[in-house]
Structure 1
Amino acid sequence: MKRIVGIHGVGQHRPGLTVPQAASELAEVWLKALARGAASADARDLSVVYYADLLRMPGRQGGAQSLDDLETAEEESVRAWLRELDVPGGVPAGRATGFLRQSLAWLARSRGLGAQATEWFVSTFFREVHTYLQGYDGSARFRVRARIAETVAARRPDIVIAHSLGSVAAYEALWAYPHLEVDLLITLGSPLALPHAVFDRLEPEPVDGRGRRPPGVKQWVNLADPGDLVAIPPGGVEASFDGVDTDRSGTVAIHTFDFHFVANYLASPRVADLLRPGPD
Structure 2
Amino acid sequence: MAPIVLVHGIFNHVRGASPEQAAARRVADCRPRLVESLRRLSIEAPEMVMAYYADLLRPDLPDQAQSAGDDTSFDGLSAAERAAAAEWLTAAGAVPPADPQNVALAPLRQMLGWLVDQRGGGLSGTAREQTIRRLERAIVANLREVEAYTTWPQRRNLVRERVAGVIRREAPMVVIAHSLGSYVTYETLHAHTDLQVELLVTVGSPLRVPSLACRLDPALRSGRGARPAGVKRWVNIADVGDVVAVPPKLAEVFPVDVDETCDNGLGFHGIGGYLANGLLAAAVAPYIS
CA 1:278–1:176 in 2, change beyond 3 Å: closer, same or farther? closer
Equivalent residue, structure 2, for 1:232: 246
In the alignment, structure 1 residue 119 sits paired with structure 2 residue 119: no
Name the CA distance, whole Å, in 1 between partners of 2:105 and 2:57.
Answer: 26
Alignment of 1:167-182 (within 5 A): 167-182=182-197
Name the CA distance, whole Å, in 2 between partners of 1:127 and 1:279.
Answer: 35
In the alignment, structure 1 residue 50 sits paired with structure 2 residue 88: no
CA 1:50–1:279 in 2, change beyond 3 Å: closer, same or farther? closer
Greater helix fraction, Structure 1 or Structure 2: 2
Counterpart contact for 1:2–1:42, Cα < 8 Å: no
Matching residue's letter, 1:104: L
CA 1:13–1:269 in 2, change beyond 3 Å: closer, same or farther? same
1:187-236 deviations in whole A, cap 9, x for unaligned? 001111122x122211101111100110001111111112211111111x
CA 1:122–1:278 in 2, change beyond 3 Å: closer, same or farther? closer
Name the CA distance, whole Å, in 2 between partners of 1:278 and 1:204.
Answer: 28
Name the CA distance, whole Å, in 2 between partners of 1:125 and 1:63.
Answer: 12
TM-score (norm: length of structure 1): 0.88
Q: Structure 2 residue aligned with 1:158, among 173, 176, 183?
A: 173
In the alignment, structure 1 residue 187 sits paired with structure 2 residue 199: no
Matching residue's letter, 2:252: A
Equivalent residue, structure 1, for 2:72: 65
Matching residue's letter, 1:234: P
In the alignment, structure 1 residue 143 sits paired with structure 2 residue 158: yes
In the alignment, structure 1 residue 4 sits paired with structure 2 residue 4: yes
Q: Structure 1 residue aligned with 2:114, among 92, 106, 110?
A: 106
CA 1:94–1:269 in 2, change beyond 3 Å: closer, same or farther? closer
Q: Structure 1 residue aligned with 2:147, among 130, 135, 143?
A: 130
Name the CA distance, whole Å, in 1 between partners of 2:22 and 2:5.
Answer: 15
Q: Structure 2 residue aligned with 1:212, among 202, 216, 226?
A: 226
Name the CA distance, whole Å, in 2 between partners of 1:154 and 1:279.
Answer: 18
SS of the aligned residue for 2:84 comes to: helix
Equivalent residue, structure 2, for 1:19: 19
Name the CA distance, whole Å, in 1 between partners of 2:236 and 2:47.
Answer: 22
Name the CA distance, whole Å, in 1 between partners of 2:276 and 2:232.
Answer: 24
TM-score (norm: length of structure 2): 0.86
Name the CA distance, whole Å, in 2 between partners of 1:202 and 1:241.
Answer: 12
Q: What is the aligned length?
A: 271
Q: Please report how far the alpha carbon of residue 73 of structure 1 lies from its aligned counterpart in structure 2 after TM superposition.
A: 3.4
**More deviation, 166-175/100-109:** 100-109
Equivalent residue, structure 1, for 2:277: 268
**More deviation, 41-50/23-32:** 41-50
CA 1:139–1:278 in 2, change beyond 3 Å: closer, same or farther? closer
1:29-57 deviations in whole A, cap 9, x for unaligned? 22111011125945332100111111111
SS of the aligned residue for 1:161 comes to: strand
1:51-77 deviations in whole A, cap 9, x for unaligned? 111111126333432122223433222
Q: Structure 2 residue aligned with 1:250, among 249, 252, 260?
A: 260
Name the CA distance, whole Å, in 1 between partners of 2:30 and 2:95.
Answer: 37
Q: Please report how far the alpha carbon of residue 166 of structure 1 lies from its aligned counterpart in structure 2 after TM superposition.
A: 0.3
SS of the aligned residue for 2:68 comes to: coil
Q: Please report how far the alpha carbon of residue 80 of structure 1 lies from its aligned counterpart in structure 2 after TM superposition.
A: 1.1
Counterpart contact for 1:42–1:277, Cα < 8 Å: no
